[in-house]
Amino acid sequence: MQKIERVYLGYQLILLFNQLLIIAYFGYESVGGHALQASDLFLLGFSTLIVMDAIYIGAMNLKNSRMLARFSGLLLLVAWFFLWSADGQGMAQTLLSFAGPVVFYSTVRFGLAFLFQDSAYKLQRQTDAILKISLALALLVRGFGESWSALMYLAQLLLGTVICLYLLWMHRSRVLFVLKNERKPLVASVSLGVVLFTGYVLQFGHDSAYLSNSGAFLLLFLPLFSIHGIAFRSRKEMPALHLLGSAASGIFLAALVAMLSAAGWALRWNIAEVFLVIHCALALLLLYGILRFAGVNRRGAMNAEAATLAAEGFYVRSLRQLKREEQLRRDFANYLHDEVLQDLLAVKNLLHKSDNPEVRRIIAETLDDLNISIRHRMQEYHPPLLGRLTLRENVQKMLDRIRQTHPMKAWTIEFDCDDKLFLVEPYNLIVYRFIKELATNAFKHSQGSRLKVALTQEREDVKLIVEDDGIGLLLPAPEHVEKKGGQGRDGEDLTPFSGDGRHKGLASIREQAALIGGTLKLERTLPSGLRVTIGFAMKGEDSYAHFIDR
């Protein structure tokens, strides 16, 4: 069994263990715990729906996505929060007082990580610090009494809400981008949540006991369910129900819950016993999925995935192709780091056994040069975009590194980019690679001294301009230039590429730009130099779904 399969099965066993804990909880409640009332049905039913969603997400996370694992874990934490809310006495009340601040903190952190695709954003460090401090204070004041605890919890809620609203306003262009491209799953999830909540209030709003903690429904259910709608809008049935089909799976689960509830009513089960049986059924379904995955025919699953890919559109296929290329580069970089570099270091450690000082010096220099060469190659195949830095900061560090590799050339680099500019995956990596290739070409071939890089965004339209003051682009022959109109005027478009290294790099960039529906334009500048302009429309219909499932 491969590592990825072992990790997947390990997480499924964690979900199964959580189900056993929930079964034990309802078993205790049915025997001698707090008598659950009809007014607790909302919280218990909501908790059960969240657990089912967490199980579904865990089952669909075949690639062991870190974001999906975080999402599933957050849902389980929220489910326990509502279970303890339904009890509200003794140990449950104590756990609830600690869970409230943790649930709010975790939800805000995950929501921001999802919105910004787990990359850096302006004021991120300050936001993280404030959220952590408010969480720590909300937990520490528990020792000063319930009044102080409630007051600090309220302060945490207000502070976190204000911070989120401010960040959403500051990065409103990204928010509008998400709302525009993900409007269908957002509208569907929000509409469903509002309808369910409104129906419940109209039916049971006359009794305040039925509305206890129902406000948390809007604070937690709507954003989390919206994220689920975005991430899984193109998904089908979970693997455990694969043989049934998508529509039949939903009918099966609904019928299962209805039949168990009817049996409980007929047999005069109490509320805890009904939910005990429901969670036992979910545990058996989860166990079936684990056993089925352990013995599944992987070749059949791969053929099904290939059939799905063939039915998708050009843009999705192009996006998948780019992501596959990035995965290959990442694998190659890992190979160089884990295998080749480790062997080189081992050889270097054996140098003390050599008696000839000159030989030792040559071997050491060769290994050092090879070490540097391999590390540069790793960065070329998979650029190290640091998550704690914004795209502008990552590009600036990359340009500084390129300048340091050419210390004999007195270059001036101007980089113009808004710190709030955002590019969703995989556009951030693609643009990063474009800039690196163009800047490296300028340093190596242009014979200039000034480099200007400008990255701008107007809604979905992204434009990258890289300009130098070097010798410009040399075309193959004067008659060929005449045909294309290339006579050296400022702003003239230079279309043809010759066979040298710089032109091969530009041809590769043009191919990459075409894959994302973009264009590349080459222009001569006065008195000398080359301007490269790349433009494309950033499409986000599948970006967040691809991001969370990477």
The CATH number linked to 460 is 3.30.565.10
The radius of gyration of the chain from alpha carbons, rounded to an integer in Å, stands at 29
What pLDDT sits at residue 314? 42
pLDDT in tens, 304-350: 444 444 444 444 554 555 566 666 677 677 767 766 777 677 677 66
Residue 207, in any domain of the structure: no
Among 340, 366, 382, the domain boundary falls at: 382
What pLDDT sits at residue 244? 43
Residues 534 and 417 in one domain: yes
User: How many structural domains is the chain composed of?
Assistant: 2
What pLDDT sits at residue 264? 66
As given in the structure block, the two tokens for residue 204 are 């049971």
Residues 463 and 495 in one domain: yes
Higher pLDDT, 476 or 149: 149
Mark residue 22 as left, alpha or beta (left: phi above 0; alpha: psi -120 to 50; beta: remaining): alpha
> Torsion over CA of 257, 260, 263 and 265, rounded to 10 degrees?
-60
Residues 317 and 450 in one domain: no
Residues 492 and 350 in one domain: no
Instruction: Kindly tell me the number of DSSP H helices and DSSP E strands found in the chain.
Output: 21, 5
The one-letter amino acid at 287: L
Residues 535 and 507 in one domain: yes
Ranking 129-143, 164-178, 220-234, 508-522 by mean pLDDT, the lowest is 220-234
Distance CA 181, CA 197 (A): 26
CA nearest neighbour of 240 among 26, 15, 546, 17: 15
What pLDDT sits at residue 547? 67
Range ranked top by mean pLDDT from 230-239, 446-455, 502-511: 446-455
Residue 61, in any domain of the structure: no
Higher pLDDT, 386 or 508: 508
Residue 374, in any domain of the structure: yes
As given in the structure block, the two tokens for residue 363 are 């071997």
Distance CA 538, CA 422 (A): 10
Distance CA 299, CA 96 (A): 46
What pLDDT sits at residue 484? 37
Among 382, 408, 434, the domain boundary falls at: 382
Distances (CA, A) of 377 to 334, 372, 381: 12, 9, 6
Residues 322 and 430 in one domain: no
Residue 110, in any domain of the structure: no
pLDDT in tens, 51-92: 988 888 888 787 778 888 888 898 899 889 888 887 767 777
Q: Is 502 exposed, middle or buried (0-12, 13-18, 19+ CB in 10 A)?
A: buried
Residues 439 and 543 in one domain: yes
Are the beta carbons of 550 and 118 closer than 8 angstroms? no
Distance CA 224, CA 226 (A): 5
Residues 404 and 494 in one domain: yes
Higher pLDDT, 114 or 169: 169
- What number of other Cβ atoms are within 10 A of residue 342's Cβ? 11
Residue 451, in any domain of the structure: yes
Distance CA 38, CA 301 (A): 44
Show the DSSP H helices in 88-145 as ranges.
Answer: 90-115, 124-140
Among 343, 362, 382, the domain boundary falls at: 382
Average confidence (pLDDT) over 496-503: 51
Residue 395, in any domain of the structure: yes
Residues 491 and 516 in one domain: yes
Please give the residue range of the domain that contains residue 419: 389-547
Residues 376 and 417 in one domain: no
Residues 409 and 495 in one domain: yes
Residues 514 and 366 in one domain: no
Residue 73, in any domain of the structure: no
Residue 149, in any domain of the structure: no
pLDDT in tens, 258-300: 776 677 666 677 778 888 888 888 898 888 888 877 765 444 4
Higher pLDDT, 468 or 408: 468
What pLDDT sits at residue 33? 56
Mark residue 447 as left, alpha or beta (left: phi above 0; alpha: psi -120 to 50; beta: remaining): left
